[in-house]
């Protein structure tokens, strides 16, 4: 019932979308320690897998979004963001889409906050193992696709990440047949080619496809 009511007004806050009794029930629901992200998302992932099983190929892009809630200073449990955001949280999501771009649903989601004491320690973080870095999200994302492959054996899954996902640890994980990984390169890595390095190898290869992407007109949405 709560999900139906919120979905009818997705652009509204809870007090705007819900009546007084339902709002109180919603706060109790979200404050219940037995209610967690994994449990809430599980039925949705199940429906997403049903849609995936109907297609021979599915793309799964993943990326991180940042929520800036500095306008809610009384909200607890938040942390640092980028730039001037000192009151927010991060969320890393995996969205399944058809090759034509039709959204099929979410396959994974991870949220976290950056503690204040982590500010200004970028150089130190580089020396940490990947398990202790935020970049472990890319490794976990690939592991998530491998785990979900068992539920859609006849579908070829292609995970997609931007340049932030060009991480050596991800390339080193064991590959599963039917799960590929497409990454926008950021490092000129060594490759098994006579040119030896990635950039040089790409430059001597003939283009496989050319696309012209028209710029989209920006439109300011009403508040």
Q: Which pLDDT score, from 0 to 100, does residue 223 have?
A: 44
Give per-residue pLDDT as tens, 69-127. 888 888 888 988 887 788 899 999 999 999 999 999 999 999 999 887 766 666 676 77
Q: Which of 20-24, 147-151, 156-160, 212-216 has the lowest mean pLDDT?
A: 212-216
**Max Cα–Cα distance, the chain, nearest Å:** 69
* Burial of 151: CB neighbours in 10 Å, binned 0-12, 13-18, 19+: middle
Higher per-residue confidence, 206 vs 175: 206
User: Residue 62: is its pLDDT beyond 80?
Assistant: yes
Q: Are 94 and 158 in contact (CB under 8 A)?
A: no
**pLDDT average, residue stretch 122-136:** 80
């Amino acid at each position: 019932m709560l999900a139906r009511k919120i979905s009818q007004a997705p652009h509204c806050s809870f007090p705007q979308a819900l009546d007084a009794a339902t709002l109180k029930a919603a706060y109790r629901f979200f404050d219940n320690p037995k209610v967690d992200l994994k449990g809430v998302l599980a039925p949705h992932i199940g429906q997403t897998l049903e849609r995936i099983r109907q297609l021979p190929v599915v793309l799964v892009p993943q990326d991180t979004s940042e929520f800036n809630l500095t306008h809610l200073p009384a909200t607890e449990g938040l942390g640092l963001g980028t730039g001037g955001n000192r009151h927010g949280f991060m969320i890393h999501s995996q969205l399944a889409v058809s090759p034509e771009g039709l959204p099929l649903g979410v396959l994974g989601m991870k949220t976290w906050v950056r503690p204040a004491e982590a500010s200004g320690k970028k150089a130190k973080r580089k020396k940490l193992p990947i398990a202790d870095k935020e970049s472990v999200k890319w490794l976990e994302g690939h592991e998530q696709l491998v785990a979900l492959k068992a539920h859609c054996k006849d579908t070829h899954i292609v995970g997609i990440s931007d340049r932030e996902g060009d991480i050596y640890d991800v390339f080193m994980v064991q590959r599963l047949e039917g799960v590929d990984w497409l990454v926008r390169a950021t490092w000129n890595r060594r490759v098994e080619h006579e040119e030896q390095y990635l950039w040089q190898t790409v430059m001597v290869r003939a283009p496989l496809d050319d696309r012209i992407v028209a710029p989209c007109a920006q439109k300011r949405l009403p508040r």
